[in-house]
A and B are shown apart, each in its own frame.
Chain A
Amino acid sequence: MILFDHVTKSYSGDKKPALDNVSLHIEANEFVFLVGKSGAGKSTLIKMITKEEMPDEGKIIIGGIDLDYVKKRHIPHYRRRIGTVFQDFKLLPTRTVYENVAFALEIAGMSNREIERTVPKVLDLVELSDVAYKFPDNISGGQRQRTSIARAVARQPKILIADEPTGNLDVETGQGILDLLEKINDYGTTVLVTTHDANAVNHLKKRVVTLRDGKIVSDQKDHGIYRLDGDNDGISLPQPGHLHPETYLMRDQRKQPPKRRLIQ
């Protein structure tokens, strides 16, 4: 579903590359935490998935699309296939919760009737029906993040990227958000969450990929209690680079997501 094949990215003026020969494969329906300290390369990796940045070397394939061939005019269409959640929510301040969620459907050209049918269901899923007509400034941080998630999943994307989704929230609210992301994953959406919050990682016990100085230093599928002390890279890394990207796509296609739908 998400494939990084020997990806390197440097920013001008920086001595070290932001991503250094990174190879990563996330299968369909997986839930993966991407952890690392500030500057480890998490955001760069996310920006590559959303095609805000392009790699200097290597190949990125997302949901069967080779990003090398995505032209500028096709970027909006590509982005509509990925749900994105941000630490600072990035909601439209002049639109209500309902309108923020509806926006994701409107840009995709969905009819008003479909939107009126879908948005209440999504708001119900994220437990925001009560605040549907409030503006982002008038709801809590947790509710804002739920709005952001609702907007991201409204189009039922195959992939959901959450960049530090609990970063601005207290522990309890953050865990509620993670539970919601897990619920979304249960319905068959591949979820990638970046965080430097050990509580978040330990709460769900999922696959954890650790980045340090632009390199993957650990990829743990089953782990004990996780500490973000930088010493968690003892497990050998899977190296998908020796396989051709097509092989991964075939594996993705073989693995069928659950038949139930997130939004009925």
Chain B
Amino acid sequence: MSKKSTVSRLKQMAKSGSGHFFRQGSRVFKYGAIGFGRNIWLSITATIVTTLTLILLFATIVASSVLTSTANAMREKIDISIFFESDTTKEELASMSKTIEKDENVKSVEYSTAEEEYDKLYQSYKESDNQSMLTTLEIVGRDLMIQRQPAAMRIKVYNTDDLSSIKNIVNSDEEFIKHLSKKEDPTYNTNSSAIQTISSWADIATKGGTALSILFLVISTLVIFNTIRMAIYSRSEEIYMEKLVGAGNVFIRGPFLVEAMISGVFAGIISTILSLVGYYALSPRLEAYEIQVGSINSFLSEPKNVILIALALILTGSVITLISARLAIQKYLKRL
């Protein structure tokens, strides 16, 4: 028996036995779908694990986004406050504002005279209905309070880490030196550590969120891989039998991959629903703590974005389960 005749016989067998691509493909899908139903407990387990993974992924991305926007909002609220003697006029403040605006790090400058500062203070007590403070202010009297109230300049900066150039202007410019309040020092020294802390929070939120998402994906892929591996282990005899009967690897592997993919799709749909319900339930409470959810709310208000999230979660779920199933079954396919 020559090698040539054996090989030509085998090639002939391969040609006659391979069947139509679409016919075999539809059988793989059919048995995958049937297998999903008939191995319902294993399917449910794989779906639950994938759903939890996707919810965690969604939560991590939302948390990262919320923390970043919250940190940015807090950074916006922080300003450098420089106080001046109460007799400093609006024109003098405007002149000093022009001087400080020349610095590249300065984003914006607001200023108010002692009188305006007093009015703001009075208005804030009134809005918060702080009767005791309002009574005190009235007893002391407006004129006396204005004499004691310093004028103020509030500066917002681009880089909160380096304020040396602004400090330099405040401490060396003649006009500043002339009008600076003797009673109240500028607040940038006391605020710098807070600014730095919030800056690093924003960094952590962005970098940590990404790292956490990747970590969750890796862990969950391993968990799903093990779940599917256990499922396949319990059916390893089936795979062995299929190989002995002459089934090719694609025909054996296919239904398992389809089963896994169905789990992934279901997990994507379920996790989208649960994540959105969870988010809408939690977001009013987060807002109460001044956590910035506005950008996410506006993103979710568009129906196409919700569909986009659903598709992304379904795709992620399918990819994770497909990769896990592919890795898990490989060992058993090599057996024969």
- Residues in chain A within 8 A of chain B (CB atoms): 50, 52, 61, 64-66, 68-71, 74-81, 84, 90-95, 103-104, 106-112, 151, 245-246, 249
Segment from B14-22, B150-158, B175-183, B316-324 that makes contact with A: B14-22
- A108 to B246 CA separation, bound complex (whole angstroms): 8
In the bound complex, do residue B13 and residue A77 qualify as a contact, i.e. CB atoms below 8 Å apart?
yes
- A95 to B37 CA separation, bound complex (whole angstroms): 12
Chain B 14-48 per-residue mask, 1 if CB under 8 angstroms from chain A, else 0? 10011110011001000000110011000000000
Task: Please give me the residue from chain A that is nearest to B14 by CB atom.
Answer: A77
- Which A residues are CB-close (under 8 A) to B243? 76, 79
Tally of A-B residue pairs with Cβ under 8 A?
Answer: 99
Which listed residue, A61, A77, A109, A151, touches B20 by the CB 8 Å rule?
Answer: A109
- A112 to B246 CA separation, bound complex (whole angstroms): 18
In the bound complex, do residue A76 and residue B246 qualify as a contact, i.e. CB atoms below 8 Å apart?
yes
- Which A residues are CB-close (under 8 A) to B245? 79-80, 84, 103-104, 107, 151
In the bound complex, do residue B246 and residue A77 qualify as a contact, i.e. CB atoms below 8 Å apart?
yes
Which listed residue, B13, B27, B39, touches A94 by the CB 8 Å rule?
Answer: B39
Which listed residue, A106, A110, A246, touches B1 by the CB 8 Å rule?
Answer: A246
In the bound complex, do residue B10 and residue A61 qualify as a contact, i.e. CB atoms below 8 Å apart?
no
In the bound complex, do residue A66 and residue B1 qualify as a contact, i.e. CB atoms below 8 Å apart?
yes
B277 proximal to A (CB < 8 A):
no
Task: Please give me the residue from chain A that is nearest to B3 by CB atom.
Answer: A69
- A168 to B19 CA separation, bound complex (whole angstroms): 36
In the bound complex, do residue A79 and residue B6 qualify as a contact, i.e. CB atoms below 8 Å apart?
no
A-B contact pairs, 19 of them (CB 8 A): A50-B244, A65-B1, A65-B9, A69-B7, A70-B10, A74-B13, A76-B249, A80-B17, A80-B245, A90-B241, A91-B241, A92-B238, A92-B241, A94-B38, A107-B247, A107-B248, A108-B17, A108-B19, A246-B1
- A87 to B336 CA separation, bound complex (whole angstroms): 19
- Residues in chain B within 8 A of chain A (CB atoms): 1-3, 5-7, 9-10, 13-14, 17-20, 23-24, 27, 34-35, 38-39, 237-238, 240-249, 251, 336
Q: Which of B5, B10, B23 has the most CB of A within 10 A?
A: B10
CB distance from B29 to the nearest CB of A (A): 13
CB distance from A145 to the nearest CB of B (A): 14
The 7 closest A-B pairs by CB, nearest first: A109-B19, A79-B246, A80-B246, A77-B13, A90-B241, A66-B1, A69-B6
- A69 to B17 CA separation, bound complex (whole angstroms): 19
Task: Please give me the residue from chain B that is nearest to A69 by CB atom.
Answer: B6
- Which A residues are CB-close (under 8 A) to B237? 90
- Which B residues are CB-close (under 8 A) to A66? 1-3, 6
- Which B residues are CB-close (under 8 A) to A50? 244
- A263 to B24 CA separation, bound complex (whole angstroms): 24
- Which A residues are CB-close (under 8 A) to B35? 94
- A74 to B242 CA separation, bound complex (whole angstroms): 15
In the bound complex, do residue A77 and residue B7 qualify as a contact, i.e. CB atoms below 8 Å apart?
no
In the bound complex, do residue B19 and residue A70 qualify as a contact, i.e. CB atoms below 8 Å apart?
no
Task: Please give me the residue from chain B that is nearest to A91 by CB atom.
Answer: B241
Task: Please give me the residue from chain A that is nearest to B249 by CB atom.
Answer: A76
- Which A residues are CB-close (under 8 A) to B247? 76, 103, 107
15 additional A-B pairs beyond A50-B244, A74-B14, beta carbons within 8 Å, are A64-B6, A66-B6, A69-B3, A69-B10, A76-B247, A78-B10, A81-B13, A92-B238, A92-B241, A94-B238, A103-B245, A106-B27, A107-B248, A109-B17, A109-B20
In the bound complex, do residue A52 and residue B13 qualify as a contact, i.e. CB atoms below 8 Å apart?
no
In the bound complex, do residue A107 and residue B246 qualify as a contact, i.e. CB atoms below 8 Å apart?
yes
Task: Please give me the residue from chain A that is nearest to B19 by CB atom.
Answer: A109
Q: Which of B5, B240, B336 has the most CB of A within 10 A?
A: B336
- A66 to B237 CA separation, bound complex (whole angstroms): 28
- Which A residues are CB-close (under 8 A) to B249? 76
In the bound complex, do residue A64 and residue B38 qualify as a contact, i.e. CB atoms below 8 Å apart?
no
Which listed residue, A77, A94, A112, A246, touches B10 by the CB 8 Å rule?
Answer: A77
Q: Which of B1, B9, B13, B27 has the most CB of A within 10 A?
A: B1
In the bound complex, do residue A93 and residue B248 qualify as a contact, i.e. CB atoms below 8 Å apart?
no
- A223 to B95 CA separation, bound complex (whole angstroms): 124
In the bound complex, do residue B17 and residue A64 qualify as a contact, i.e. CB atoms below 8 Å apart?
no
Which listed residue, B3, B5, B9, B18, touches A109 by the CB 8 Å rule?
Answer: B18
Task: Please give me the residue from chain A that is nearest to B28 by CB atom.
Answer: A106
- A74 to B11 CA separation, bound complex (whole angstroms): 8
Q: Which of A92, A112, A151 has the most CB of B within 10 A?
A: A92
In the bound complex, do residue A65 and residue B6 qualify as a contact, i.e. CB atoms below 8 Å apart?
yes
- A71 to B1 CA separation, bound complex (whole angstroms): 16
